[in-house]
Structure 1
């Protein structure tokens, strides 16, 4: 594979990024439903889940599934 001349690091094209975004997307959806049905416990739990999303993404990235990690296999487009 040739190197990218513009130096794009490949943001969002790794299992770590997808995991982080999926967790945060579920948190936003659950928080919206919890706010709509007036269940503040669900809203607060989803706020905690929203904060945990980037933390989990960082941990998964450090485990080797980030863009430059040894366990990451880039897909050709």
Structure 2
């Protein structure tokens, strides 16, 4: 039995590594992740409390959904990487 399951990568164009990607380091990304982290903490607390905290768990899920929505909304408002509302100081 041969092992041909190795992934192959075909490169059509050379990758330009001199372009700064930003890696999501923006107010939009940090706000989104912080909101989602609060939602996860609420969900974890509900999990530890037990059966009586079902509503609290779903509140945590709702907070996570708010965080998922907040990121793209803030990015469209100009707070994403390279956004119009940011003072790009090169850092």
Q: What TM-score do you get using the length of structure 2 for normalisation?
A: 0.71
**2:45: which partner in 1?**
33
Worse overlay, 14-23 or 67-76: 67-76
Larger radius of gyration: 2
Cα distance in 1 between the residues matched to 2:67 and 2:88: 22
| 3-state SS of 2:68 partner | helix
**2:22: which partner in 1?**
10
Cα distance in 1 between the residues matched to 2:89 and 2:47: 39
Worse overlay, 66-75 or 42-51: 66-75
4+ aligned runs moved over 6 Å, structure 1 = none
Q: What's the RMSD between the two structures over aligned residues?
A: 1.6
Q: What TM-score do you get using the length of structure 1 for normalisation?
A: 0.83
Unpaired segments of 5 or more residues in structure 1?
none
| Higher share of residues assigned helix | 1
Describe the superposition over 1:12-58 as per-residue Cα deviations: whole angstroms up to 9, x where unpaired.
21000000000000000110001111211110111111122121111
| 3-state SS of 1:23 partner | helix
Aligned length: 73
1:45 to 56, 59, 65: 59
